[in-house]
Structure 1
Amino acid sequence: MAAPSTLKITNRSAKKPIKKLPTSIEVTDETTVQDVKNELARQAGGIDPERLGLFDPEKKKILKDRRAFVSELRDVMGGKEILVKDLGLQISWKTVFIIEYLGPILIHLITPLLLRPYIYSSAPPLSTSQYLSMAMIVLHFVKREYETMYVHRFSLSTMPAFNIFKNSAHYWVLSGFNIAYWVYAPNSYTALESPTINYINAIGLVLYVFGEVSNLITHKTLSNLRSPGGTERGIPQGYGFGLVTCPNYLFELIAWTGVTLVSKSFSTVIFDVIAWAQMHAWAIKKEKALRSEFPDKYKKKKYVLLPSPGAVVKYLTG
């Protein structure tokens, strides 16, 4: 084993320095990023280690891989320094996701089944399309809760606690109150439809089932790239990944297209457009990250989220 190395410890934020933070720390070949966080937290007075964000001195990027050996991080060892910042009160990603998705579930159950007589001047029985819209949206977020608990593996264990309000607003407001108020209204398009399931609903249901099942498959593919509790990255391959960078986002949009056809509400279209914009931005970042991290192994994708019809035909025909 090589002799321990001494790394300088620097507060990244001069305005909000961490009190009692040591000026240096010794690391060995077996010292991980999490070990450094634990030791710095102990010496700083026993604060929560997850509050500490560690950054390299060169690119000033946060050290996400908790299991990475510090001695193997070139940007850290080259500068012999680690920048440290207090990230504030933290909350686990799982907790945030559970709360985010619980909102739409409750809103789309309580609004049509209990609150309609109190929200609208009249509340005739729900139509078939309204019931179907409710079931599709609730099941979508129930699936997300399942994935949060049993499928997803997070590179970071926590996020700033304040983010729970920002993240929840997207789902509680846009996919919750926004859609629920208009879709379950007694004068909505879905309320005035024929009680039978029409062909548009049938098409929407097919798209929804295809999108949800495919989305789950891609999420499991992504999860399998990382060991339990690990933060390592890999190149996703298989179902959908040869077509676009993020087929999980593509299938999500397909599922919500199905919801839109059934609900026939402009409120759902608004949610779809905003979701597409956000996922498109994430997909671009993912493509750039894969190209940067695996320059020799990763096959560059022309489409990050929405492929052309020609690309789909080429992909399906091999």
Structure 2
Amino acid sequence: MLKDNETLGNVGNPKQLYFKDLGPQVGWTTVFLTEYSGPLFAYLLFYLRPSLIYADSNAPTHPVVDIAMFCWIGHYAKRLFETVFVHRFSHGTMPIRNIFKNSFYYWGFAAYVAYYINHPLYTPPVFGTTQIYIGLAGFIICELGNLSIHIALRNLRPAGSKERKIPYPTSNPFTILFNFVSCPNYTYEVGSWFFFTIMTQSIPSGLFMFAGFYQMAVWAAGKHRNYKREFKNYPKGRKPIIPFLM
């Protein structure tokens, strides 16, 4: 398989050349804007128009429902901001058919989580405001950490370059996780949904967290292997996603 920076002249004189038409392609910016805008609007539909979803839409709501909405919208607004202003994407593309599969995951879970949290019969956390504020504080910290890691990774590679370096902590205290894991952005991402689940005490939120953790653990393991393969001096104490464990 040819890499993006290779040409046919670099492969010598092969006897056979296989070509596969993957169909229409879309750039990664379009992919992420599509994936992340859906959960934002889907959640708002349940929050702002409960009469379209539930029979008893006039029941009073607990303040945690409002807090959860701001957290959810803030998370995906951050992702959209990062897609446009922080992340640097290669010129690679993805088959347009894959957008539907990826979007189904994000959009589907958004509707699933929003349906339960905004339901008139939703039960607030058993430990009241203490549980809510602990979850909210943890969520905000992890969101700031995730953004900090993305900015650090962006600054690690000059614009227009494919140079790869070993990421290390910067002056930003949130980047200290680079001392322990290869993909702290995933660590913070899982942490955000862990604390969101604590804050809302919602089973769908927990399922969303576990599904995301599984996928990010797979990605982190692959990136961790690539780091160790590419850099002989890669720190040996780092784990892929969870400090000291995995």
What TM-score does the superposition give when structure 1 sets the normalisation length?
0.69
Per the alignment, do residues 184 and 193 of structure 1 end up closer, same or farther by CA in structure 2, a change over 3 Å counting? farther
Q: Are residue 172 (structure 1) and residue 107 (structure 2) matched?
A: yes
Please name the residue that 2:40 is paired with. 105
Please name the residue that 2:239 is paired with. 303
Please name the residue that 1:158 is paired with. 93
* Cα contact 1:155–1:230 (8 A) shared by 2: no
Aligned residue runs from structure 1 range 129-168, under 5 A:
129-168=64-103
* Cα contact 2:190–2:213 (8 A) shared by 1: yes
Q: Are residue 87 (structure 1) and residue 22 (structure 2) matched?
A: yes
Q: Partners of 1:87 and 1:169 in 2: how far apart?
A: 20
Aligned partner (choices 29, 34, 55) of residue 121 of structure 1: 55
Q: Partners of 1:70 and 1:248 in 2: how far apart?
A: 36
The structure whose Rg is larger is 1
* Larger RCO (alpha carbons 8 Å, 6+ apart): 2
Please name the residue that 2:196 is paired with. 259
Q: Partners of 1:265 and 1:244 in 2: how far apart?
A: 28
Shift of 1:299: 1.8
Please name the residue that 1:293 is paired with. 230
Q: Are residue 272 (structure 1) and residue 240 (structure 2) matched?
A: no
Identity of aligned residues (%): 34
Q: Partners of 1:305 and 1:230 in 2: how far apart?
A: 26
Please name the residue that 1:182 is paired with. 116
Please name the residue that 2:172 is paired with. none
Taking only aligned residues, the RMSD between alpha carbons, in angstroms, comes to 2.4
* Cα contact 1:287–1:301 (8 A) shared by 2: no
* Cα contact 1:245–1:301 (8 A) shared by 2: no
* Cα contact 1:154–1:231 (8 A) shared by 2: no
* Cα contact 1:244–1:304 (8 A) shared by 2: yes
Alignment length (residue pairs): 237
Please name the residue that 1:22 is paired with. none
Please name the residue that 1:41 is paired with. none
Per the alignment, do residues 156 and 292 of structure 1 end up closer, same or farther by CA in structure 2, a change over 3 Å counting? farther
* Cα contact 1:225–1:234 (8 A) shared by 2: yes
* Cα contact 2:180–2:244 (8 A) shared by 1: no
Q: Partners of 1:87 and 1:297 in 2: how far apart?
A: 38
What secondary structure does 1:241 align onto? Answer: helix
Please name the residue that 1:48 is paired with. none
**C-alpha deviations, 1:212-236, integer Å up to 9, x for none?**
0010010111112223233332221
Query: Which amino acid in 1 is paired with 2:56?
Result: S
Query: Which amino acid in 2 is paired with 1:254?
Result: G
Per the alignment, do residues 235 and 156 of structure 1 end up closer, same or farther by CA in structure 2, a change over 3 Å counting? farther
Q: Partners of 2:207 and 2:237 in 1: how far apart?
A: 28
Q: Partners of 1:229 and 1:95 in 2: how far apart?
A: 19
* Cα contact 1:215–1:252 (8 A) shared by 2: yes
Question: Which structure: greater strand fraction?
Answer: 1
* Cα contact 1:151–1:220 (8 A) shared by 2: yes
Q: Are residue 232 (structure 1) and residue 166 (structure 2) matched?
A: no
Per the alignment, do residues 91 and 280 of structure 1 end up closer, same or farther by CA in structure 2, a change over 3 Å counting? same
Q: Partners of 2:61 and 2:113 in 1: how far apart?
A: 15
**C-alpha deviations, 1:89-138, integer Å up to 9, x for none?**
11011111111111111112121111x12321212133201000111011
Please name the residue that 1:282 is paired with. 219
Q: Partners of 2:164 and 2:152 in 1: how far apart?
A: 12
Gaps of 5+ in 1: 1-54, 57-62, 312-318
What TM-score does the superposition give when structure 2 sets the normalisation length?
0.88
* Cα contact 2:221–2:240 (8 A) shared by 1: yes
Question: Which structure: greater helix fraction?
Answer: 2
* Cα contact 2:224–2:239 (8 A) shared by 1: no
Shift of 1:146: 0.3
What secondary structure does 1:86 align onto? Answer: coil
Relative to structure 2, which stretch is displaced further, 222-231 or 102-111? 222-231
